Chains A and B, each alone.
Chain A
Amino acid sequence: MSKFTRRGLIKTSATVGAGLAMPTFITSPLAAYTNAPTGGSVTLGFNVPQSGPYADEGADELRAYKLAVEHLNGGGDGGMMNTFSSKSLTGNGILGKKVEYVTGDTQTKSDAARASAKSMIEKDGAVMITGGSSSGVAIAVQGLCQEAGVIFMAGLTHSNDTTGKDKKANGFRHFFNGYMSGAALAPVLEARYGKDRNAYHLTADYTWGWTQQESIQAATEAKGWNTVNNVLTPLATTDFSSYVAPVLNSGADVLVLNHYGGNMINSLTSAVQFGLRDKMVNGKNFEIVVPLYSRLMARGAGENVKGIFGSTNWHWSLSDEGSKAFVKSFGTKYGFPPSQAAHTTYVQTLLYADACERSGTFNPCGVSEALEGFKFDGMGNGPTEYRAEDHQCFKDVLVVKGKENPTSEFDVLEVVEITPRSQVEYAVDHPMFAGGALGKCNPGA
């Protein structure tokens, strides 16, 4: 055999009679893409953190996925399928095939996430992978899906890079990003705290932190703010006291915490302990801003979040029909309201299913075509568009603040403003998103 191809092997093995050879990663004689569903069902891969610090967020994502699967298969009350502007989903699975799923643990580590995604693709025949609770993992898995020829529907990932320099043709992000946070927050901050402010940034010292810090700094400086300092904090920091203490005498009157998860809880707690919020600097009240909020994580900071501004992708207290339908079916099933992570993963699953229906195939290239430039509504974020050029969803962004008088343990944030989509949009070639190429959709050949 001069060329060791799959087809060659298939022929030989067929003549030997050992059975039909079916390549997994690559084009099979029957279908033109990886893991084409053959029986009466289709398998989706839900790859979420189940161990490590983001396990609770992962668990909430998983709940949303299960709910989405239930709805797709015609169970439950249908949730957002009823409010979704596209009506191609009918509750009989996807393209008539019953939806099944496999789950895996990303451990919030690129390696483990890729291993888990690979096993879903190679062993379980998953045709779409979704999930993730950090940008590093999302980008790593997105790259893998591009190589393997399956669709990746990103879960919670906020870094500009996911649809910026690391964008991939097979990957799609519903969640908002650092740039959008900055663009949405800056006007609100200007309105509340004035034009003449000196900001001090504490930033998680890795790519996500950097991109978010860059976005917020640019957006606030455009409103007239001055950036006093930007201090990078190591990821492993648990006690932020030594980073917070110098803020007191720096002349700054706003502290921006570009942290997420455990880092955010700990840095915010330290900042409040040091009494920053009770300070008067330059004749103004000292303020703290947490650009990216997660309700689940905000709970960990307890009382400290009260009155602190931030942005979020979605919040359960929204009163549009889509949000209400989703909160109702999620709340009825699990007894508490969904998180933004749950929302985005639920929506991503429905969007994927809908794209399959509309294109009439599970082929990633078909699905991708159906998603590119797709405009929809009724999913809780108002009119939304999946931009074709970078596979980023454009929609309204919520500016929230920690609620002063919560009525329940879930009532941590209140929405102060819904920033319209037009205000957070940016050009495809915006410098913060430059470099990298989408490439072509890969069906796995």
Chain B
Amino acid sequence: MDAILLQILNGLDKGSAYALIALGLTLIFGTLGVVNFAHGALFMLGAFCAVSLQKLVAVSKITIDPSQVDFLGNPLKVKTPYVIEWFGPKIGNAIIDWNVPLAIIIAIPVMLLIGYVMERGLIKHFYKRPHADQILVTFGLAIVIQELVKANFGANPIPTPAPDQFVGSFNVGALIGLDASYPYWRLIYFAFSALIISSVFAFLRFTTFGMVVRAGMADRETVGLLGINIDRRFTIMFGIAAAVAGLAGVMYTPINSPNYHMGMDFLVLSFVVVVVGGMGSLPGAVSAGFLLGILESFASMNEVKGFFEMLYLPSIDQIIIYLVAIIVLLTRPRGLMGKAGVMEE
């Protein structure tokens, strides 16, 4: 039971990342009709907002300490971050420690801006172009973004730890009489994702702006006939989708050290998630994200792997996502909740 609870938690955690990216992809696709291959890059940019802030708060005053030597035998240059210089060790260290949560505040405007610029500068010209062209241009953009990040930050992963309070794990199982410790930050990540996902849904459901966007997604032309400039709203939605991906990226950094190609690692899986969920369906994208995350976690359990090995299917964890995708798409023509006629041509 403990093991199952843990794998459910793992699945929800993995699913959170898939769901957040897939949600953004679907928002963009549903509003603008654009297949955005640069979405993974936006996720990565979010993570690098946290890395940048980390670098920024670590900018240091250099003093030379002749009593110590560096690896070449020269006097050691001692670095004191300016935040410690200015605010004293207590506040300074706290700022450095709380870098990831602080990065959220920075990431929101930055990602909204990036999304806005991207949509106005590039994507806008591709509304009426074939999907293949959209894929190519956004893929090109993704490469450019990645390479620029690589040129700046290198190719190696950069550790971006969570605040000290959240290091370690918490016995979640104890709440229901089991024994299952789960890392704090992963719990936070799941809670945060759930919050973001429900905020997006609430925003669409309960605000006028959201109503217009929903209407625009359903019938862009008619909304225009009612005097509404839907393009302007969709641009904002693009910004929001970018911000969602970015926040997913920021919060992901303590889980796995970010690197420049982390976006590509997620991109393909996220597309699978979106399609399994059904093109154009937001609830579909989210539920498929969690579903695949949980199935992936279960498939990596030794018992499950052993069972499938008996069925002559060794290493089920290697292929589970794709296998599930095939089964879902063959049994449900448009994924879990897809709409008829959306990208079926």
Contact = CB atoms under 8 A, between A and B. Distances in A.
A53 B3 contact: no
Interface string A99-123: 0000000000000000000000000
- Tell me what chain B mostly uses at the interface: helix, strand, loop, or mixed: mixed
6 contacts: A54-B155, A241-B14, A242-B301, A275-B169, A304-B159, A328-B72
B257 A316 contact: no
A405 interface: no
Contacts of B168: 275, 278
Interface string B1-18: 011001100110110010
Interface string B289-302: 00000001110111
B63 to A, nearest CB: 15
B261 A53 contact: yes
A248 B181 contact: yes
Interface string B148-163: 0010001111110100
Contact of B157 (A233, A242, A262, A328): A262
A242 B300 contact: yes
Interface residues of B, number: 49
Contact of B296 (A242, A269, A270): A242
Interface residues of A, number: 52
A238 B257 CA distance: 10
Interface of A: 51-57, 59, 205, 229, 231-234, 236, 238-239, 241-243, 245-246, 248-249, 262, 265-266, 269-270, 273-275, 278, 296-297, 299-304, 316-317, 327-328, 331-332, 337, 407-408, 410-411
A59 B167 CA distance: 33
Given A232-B315, A239-B13, A273 B155 contact: no
Given A239-B10, A242-B11, 13 more contacts: A52-B155, A232-B315, A234-B317, A239-B255, A241-B186, A243-B300, A245-B7, A265-B157, A266-B256, A270-B256, A275-B183, A301-B159, A304-B159
Given A241-B13, A273-B255, A303 B159 contact: yes
A410 B186 contact: no
A245 B157 contact: no
Interface of B: 2-3, 6-7, 10-11, 13-14, 17, 68, 70-72, 76, 150, 154-159, 161, 167-169, 179, 181-183, 185-186, 255-257, 259, 261-262, 265-266, 296-298, 300-302, 305, 315, 317-318
Contacts of B70: 408
A278 B2 CA distance: 19
Contact of A53 (B71, B155, B302): B155
A440 to B, nearest CB: 38
B315 A205 contact: yes
A331 B73 CA distance: 11
A270 B169 CA distance: 11
A231 B181 CA distance: 21
Contact of A408 (B71, B158, B159, B265): B71
Contacts of A300: 156-159, 257, 259
Query: A-B pairs with the 4 shortest C-beta distances?
Result: A302-B159, A300-B157, A55-B155, A273-B183
A245 B156 contact: no
A429 to B, nearest CB: 30
Given A245-B7, A249-B2, A300-B156, A274 B183 contact: yes
A265 B72 CA distance: 28
Nearest to A304: B159
Contact of A242 (B10, B158, B255, B318): B10
A242 B297 contact: yes
Contacts of B182: 274
A57 B183 CA distance: 31
Contacts of A234: 315, 317-318
